[in-house]
Amino acid sequence: MKSLHIIIILSAFITLTSFKTKATFQSNTNYTITSINPNQDDKAFIGKWIQNSHSPAAKKYRASSILEIDFKKDYTAHFLISKGDEIKTIVGAWSTKETESSIKIMGLNANLENGVILEYIANGKDLSVIHLSKGISDGKMLLESGDVIFEKTSK
């Protein structure tokens, strides 16, 4: 009788933990990001965003190497990244909620409620986590990281 209870409990646990949605990077590593708790406001981010930062001060921010972000409905994101003379597309993930990676890298005190978190591997081995805050200018929603600004395209 006890073994039947244990089997039922283990079966329930395995069933409950198998419902995670995963987005994997296209890189040499096996790093996986798990999307958590979609937010109703997430659909405002879906689509292409282009960097609109021409300030020399913007170059000191990690987000300055991202030329374009294409947020997908499945919480993946395609990044057009500039690295020196090379421009390449990388697949990563996005979330409007804290993730294990964002907490680990940015710390527990990061204010992640206003905006979106990007997680991607640019160099094939190290995870990059960037928080873009939501802002409004001239009635348009913008995403900002320091002096780096992204505007949504109409396409």
At residue 99, the pLDDT reads 77
Place of tokens 């964002």: 102
Confidence of residue 123 (pLDDT cuts 50, 70, 90): confident
Provide the domain count of the chain: 1
Determine, yes or no, domain membership for 2.
no
Determine, yes or no, domain membership for 49.
yes
CATH number at residue 33: 2.40.128
Measured between alpha carbons, how far apart are the two ends of the chain, in Å?
62
Question: Is the model's pLDDT at 42 over the cut of 50?
Answer: yes
Torsion of CA 68, 70, 75, 81, to 10 degrees: -30
* E strands present in the chain: 21-24, 32-35, 47-51, 66-71, 76-83, 86-95, 115-121, 127-137, 140-145, 148-152
Question: Is the model's pLDDT at 86 over the cut of 80?
Answer: yes
Question: Is the model's pLDDT at 33 over the cut of 50?
Answer: no
Whole domain around residue 77: which residue ranges?
A: 21-152
Q: Look up residue 105 and give its DSSP letter.
A: H
Confidence of residue 111 (pLDDT cuts 50, 70, 90): low
Of residues 113 and 152, the one with the higher pLDDT is: 152
pLDDT, mean over the chain: 76
Determine, yes or no, domain membership for 147.
yes
Determine, yes or no, domain membership for 6.
no
Determine, yes or no, domain membership for 64.
yes
